[in-house]
Structure 1
Amino acid sequence: MAKPRVLQIGIDPGVIDFSPWPGQDADGLRARIADAETALRDAGFDVTVCLVPDDAAAADSAVRARLSSAVFDVVEIGSGLRTSHEYTTIFERVVNAVATLHSGVPLCFNDSPETTLDAVRRALTR
């Protein structure tokens, strides 16, 4: 039996302004995202990560390229992309790309990288 395929989509930590969150930085977030990816793999998932830039058109292109490369069983969209007002347009483009290219695929949303595995499991058991 094939492993369930997960596409994780999030904003690239390198473009985030961390000044509102003292003590957090791009390297720390990258490490947390990598830990989430490892947790998914250890739980038996085939994972593809797509970290998008802070440009809506470029983000849309990146997501469409990933979605065109494989069929995914679930798409997880990170909280940083969804909850930051400056990324609303990018979030809209991402959701619309998924809806267009992978109609019907379950979407799930984490609260942080540490809740990604739970979010994916929720999506696959609906």
Structure 2
Amino acid sequence: MSEQSSVLSIGLHPGAVDYTNYPNLDEVTLTARIEAGESALRAAGFDFVSCLVPTDPDAAEAKLRECAAGGVFRVAMIGAGVRMAAEHTLLFERLINVAADIAPGIRFCFNTSPETTIDALRRWV
């Protein structure tokens, strides 16, 4: 990974989302949107690690540490699914603090959907 563009992309695993809150969304659709967003990142030349976490803060921390092992990260992008649902406040807090522990001085950016990830990253990379 190059230190110039290394990105840690953190989001909820599509299997962990409560779709009752999103009537026009399902796991297959969200997975496809995430994959399309990641393809756009690769095409734009971003060096990134995707880390899709469960909703349990302890399990999410373990997954984030696993994803980040051995990497050097300049920016962490934390997805809207983690940040925008009140029930994930503790999860969001934990992920912010773990990312700061893993990579002191890391910058954070935030998207509003998988399709806006590249715009969020361009603000900081």
| Interval of TM-score (by shorter of Structure 1 and Structure 2) | over 0.9
Q: For the residues of structure 2 that align with 1:75 and 1:106, how far apart are their CA atoms? A: 6
> Can you give the 5+ residue segments of structure 1 that lack an aligned partner in the other structure?
none
> Can you give the 5+ residue segments of structure 2 that lack an aligned partner in the other structure?
none
Amino acid at match of 1:84: A
State whether residues 67 and 102 of structure 1, in contact with CA within 8 Å, keep that contact through their aligned partners in structure 2.
Answer: no
> What is aligned with 1:10?
11
Q: For the residues of structure 2 that align with 1:113 and 1:37, how far apart are their CA atoms? A: 8
Deviation sequence 1:19-50 (CA, Å, 0-9, x none): 12222101111111111111110001112110
State whether residues 59 and 90 of structure 1, in contact with CA within 8 Å, keep that contact through their aligned partners in structure 2.
Answer: yes
TM-score, normalised with respect to structure 2: 0.92
Any runs of at least 4 consecutive aligned residues in structure 1 with deviations exceeding 3 A, and if so which?
Answer: none
TM-score, normalised with respect to structure 1: 0.92
State whether residues 9 and 52 of structure 1, in contact with CA within 8 Å, keep that contact through their aligned partners in structure 2.
Answer: yes
State whether residues 3 and 45 of structure 1, in contact with CA within 8 Å, keep that contact through their aligned partners in structure 2.
Answer: no
Deviation at 1:3, TM superposition (A): 6.6
- Give the fraction of aligned pairs with identical amino acids, expressed as a percent: 45
